[in-house]
């Protein structure tokens, strides 16, 4: 077993063993409380630049599925590659078992040049991050070293967004999807609802596109780095076509509306985050992955909170009082996590149908 270390910027060090790629890595250390879904998390572009700590102790036991494609999307992953900087776990399962497993977690990480460390107390690491906030950290292996690096200083969205326009499906509802670090399951859910999805880069000039509904995806980093997306959304808000945003998309919509966002102490990442709908009073358990939030005190009068987090009362979505614009901070597409809020995709399509009927 090759020794490895997880070193935080405050000097706190955890000693463990290497798995995955034998390379050093640096980024922002964050924790996720999910019990399953590591193939989905590791391919989620929202983790770009981050060292992910899994608080659940057993990781790797069901291996990694094959990379079969459907609709030109990898069927079992949320993008075409791993995006995180490193992976920190308590126990690594050398043996794995699942009917659809193709390879081990360690081999998959080696193929994608992502290092990991195991044999460390991830609950103690989680407590450290909760107490001190998300911190910069690095994984060093077998005497190697690397400098600390703050991914939030960069435009991470530009690094993970597609570079050219792509089209999926041939349904009757035309959805223009701004890719800020898209999870594949968003496209899957839209295609199931009789849509044609036109996926465009984060900085794409959407004014030349004809669409029935506008969708803004999840993505990594500070939303204020996406100035061109925000300006495009300001123009889109002058129209009446329905708009739906998820995660970073919710923050970008709030910024375009004139609100503000802020960096959270340690964010929300996991599959067990409770939210409440401010209009209906219904509560849901949701999948989340974000380190920034909308400042409720800065929303203009026509914009209201749609969902609130029942743990800390932060905004989990916004909506416009008179136009068909709404967003969620959590992930109704799940993958992984609970699917309790998948119905929001139906609500988006219903708004599109009503918009068409009114014309």
Nearest to 153 by CA among 79, 253, 48: 48
DSSP-assigned letter for residue 223: G
Catalytic residue among 173, 268, 320, 331: 331
316 is catalytic: no
Rg of the Cα atoms in the chain: 20
Buried b (16+ CB within 10 A) or exposed e, 267-279: bbbbbebebbbee
226 is catalytic: no
Buried b (16+ CB within 10 A) or exposed e, 203-242: bbebeeeebbbbbbbbbbbbbebbebbbebbeebbeeebb
Q: How far apart are CA 168 and CA 69, in angstroms?
A: 13
The tokens describing 168, both together, are: 């999926």
Cα dihedral 330, 336, 337, 343 sign:
positive
In the chain, how long is the greatest CA-to-CA distance? Answer: 66
Stated as kind and residue range, the H or E segment containing 188 is helix 184-191
Catalytic residue among 40, 241, 316, 333: 333
9 is catalytic: no
Catalytic residue among 173, 247, 316, 320: 247
Alpha-carbon distances of 9 from 6, 13, 26, 122, rounded to whole Å: 10, 9, 10, 17
Q: What is residue 99's three-state secondary structure?
A: coil
Where in the sequence numbering do the catalytic residues fall? 247, 331, 333
């Amino acid at each position: 077993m090759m020794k490895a270390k997880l070193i935080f910027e405050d000097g706190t060090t955890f000693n463990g063993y290497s798995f995955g790629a034998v390379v050093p890595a640096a980024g922002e250390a964050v924790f996720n409380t999910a019990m399953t879904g590591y193939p989905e998390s590791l391919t989620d572009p929202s983790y770009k630049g981050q060292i992910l700590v899994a608080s659940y102790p057993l990781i790797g036991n069901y291996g990694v599925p094959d990379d079969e494609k459907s609709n030109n999307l990898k069927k079992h992953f949320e993008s075409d590659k791993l995006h995180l900087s490193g992976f920190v776990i308590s126990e690594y399962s050398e043996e794995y078992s699942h009917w659809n497993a193709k390879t081990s977690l360690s081999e998959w990480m080696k193929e994608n040049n992502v290092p990991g460390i195991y044999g460390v107390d991830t609950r103690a690491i989680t407590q450290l991050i909760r107490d001190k906030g998300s911190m910069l950290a690095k994984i060093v292996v077998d005497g190697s070293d690397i400098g600390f690096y703050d991914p939030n200083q960069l435009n991470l969205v530009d690094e993970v967004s597609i570079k050219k326009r792509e089209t999926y499906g041939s349904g009757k509802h035309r959805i223009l999807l701004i890719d800020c670090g898209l999870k594949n399951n968003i496209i899957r859910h839209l295609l199931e609802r009789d849509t044609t999805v036109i996926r465009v880069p984060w900085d794409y000039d959407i004014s030349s596109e004809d669409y029935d509904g506008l969708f803004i995806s999840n993505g990594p980093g500070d939303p204020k780095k996406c100035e061109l997306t925000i300006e495009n959304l300001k123009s889109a808000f002058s129209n009446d076509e329905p708009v739906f945003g998820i995660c970073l998309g919710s923050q970008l919509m709030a910024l375009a509306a004139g609100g503000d966002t802020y960096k959270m102490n340690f964010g929300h990442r996991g599959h067990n985050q409770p939210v409440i709908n401010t209009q209906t009073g219904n509560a849901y358990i949701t999948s989340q992955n974000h380190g920034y939030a909308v400042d409720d005190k800065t929303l203009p009068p026509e914009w209201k909170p749609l969902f609130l987090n029942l743990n800390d009362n932060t905004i989990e979505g916004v909506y416009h009082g008179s136009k068909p614009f709404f967003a969620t901070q959590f992930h109704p597409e799940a993958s992984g996590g609970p699917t309790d809020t998948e119905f929001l995709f139906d609500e988006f399509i219903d708004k599109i149908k009503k918009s068409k009927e009114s014309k």
